[in-house]
Amino acid sequence: MSGYGSTVATNPREAADWSTGRVIRSNLRAVAGRAYPRVIGLTREPSWLFFEIFLPFLAVSAFVFVYRALEAPEAFVGFVVLGGAMTSFWLNVVWMMAAQFYWEKDQGNLELYFTAPMHLMSVLAGMAIGGLVMTSSRALAVIGIGSLLYGVTYDIQQPFLLAGVFLLTMIPLYGMGMLFASLFLLWGREAFHLAQLLQEPIYFLGGVNFPLRAIGPIAGVVIATLPLGVGLDAMRQLAFAGSGVQGVLPVGVEMLILAVMGVVFIVAARLALGYLEHLARREGRLTLRWQ
């Protein structure tokens, strides 16, 4: 009894004595476990086809028509389509990462996460990886449909670098979501409003529907703080290399910024989570459904 895996314990003290390897394996399993509902949700909730592809696509289309009416460079159409795809990730980070702990608390899951023998970072990592897989399919659908419908021509000279920048963008973006998950819970009960508060400003400041360079000096500040803006600017430079439209900073510099942001957000998420757990245990709130 109480034996699973490689250890068969005969008493609780023995059962609690896990090797470092077992701790690591258990946490990796927890990541997979938490990612599972997100990935499986793709096939269980087909309504996402409407809400997360069709509706965002209307906004993309509006900008495409505006740019064409203004006779803007044709690359701008591609910028908007790419921005529309990246919007899916931002929405996923805000609604399915940042606000998630709040909802998990309401369902009673947070209590169970706390009492399970895993680190809460594994839960966040599982949410992030599951969300990334789920959202990638949506983003690809936006790019595919948008490119076909509006005849976007890509000029990708360094495909591996483009893929690398995409992955490098995802780390700080989801790291920010992991950080916000704890902060939303700490700040208050209105995760819904906090998520809404963040949504539109980031659309603007992230340059989702226009090249970041167009907003002038502010762009520099944006670049330094928002992974979505930095990543999108770098990806546009690499996806439309021959368009003549310049990014805010060279791709190499933007990659460096993304890497630093990735470390900062994930370390901050880890610290915030530790503080959250401490506060939850000390104050008797946050994890308890009735409070």
Looking only at residues 166 through 205 of this chain, which bind another protein when binding is defined by CB under 8 A? none
Binding mask 13-52 for another protein (x = CB under 8 A): x-xxxx---x--xxx-xx-xxx-xx--xx--xx-------
Note every long-range contact of 26-34, with CB atoms under 8 Å and residues 24 or more positions apart, other chains counting: 26/117, 26/118, 27/118, 27/119, 27/122, 28/122, 30/116, 30/118, 30/119, 30/122, 30/123, 30/126, 31/122, 31/125, 31/126, 31/129, 32/126, 33/126, 34/122, 34/123, 34/125, 34/126, 34/127, 34/130
How many residues are present in the chain? 291
Binding mask 270-289 for another protein (x = CB under 8 A): ----------xxxxx--xx-
Binding mask 80-109 for another protein (x = CB under 8 A): ---------------------------xxx
Q: What residues have CB less than 8 Å from 174, skipping those under 6 apart?
A: 93, 97, 128, 131, 132
In the complex, minimum distance from the CB of residue 169 to another protein, in angstroms, rounded to a whole number:
28
Matching residue, tokens 């608390």: 105
Q: How many residues bind another protein (CB under 8 A)?
A: 46
Q: Which is nearer to another protein, 47 or 244 (CB)?
A: 47
In the complex, minimum distance from the CB of residue 33 to another protein, in angstroms, rounded to a whole number:
3
Q: Which is nearer to another protein, 4 or 50 (CB)?
A: 4
Q: Which is nearer to another protein, 71 or 282 (CB)?
A: 282
Q: Which is nearer to another protein, 27 or 199 (CB)?
A: 27
CA nearest to 33, candidates 93, 157, 119, 122: 122
The residues binding another protein (CB under 8 A) are 1-5, 11-13, 15-18, 22, 25-27, 29-30, 32-34, 36-37, 40-41, 44-45, 107-109, 111-118, 123, 280-284, 287-288
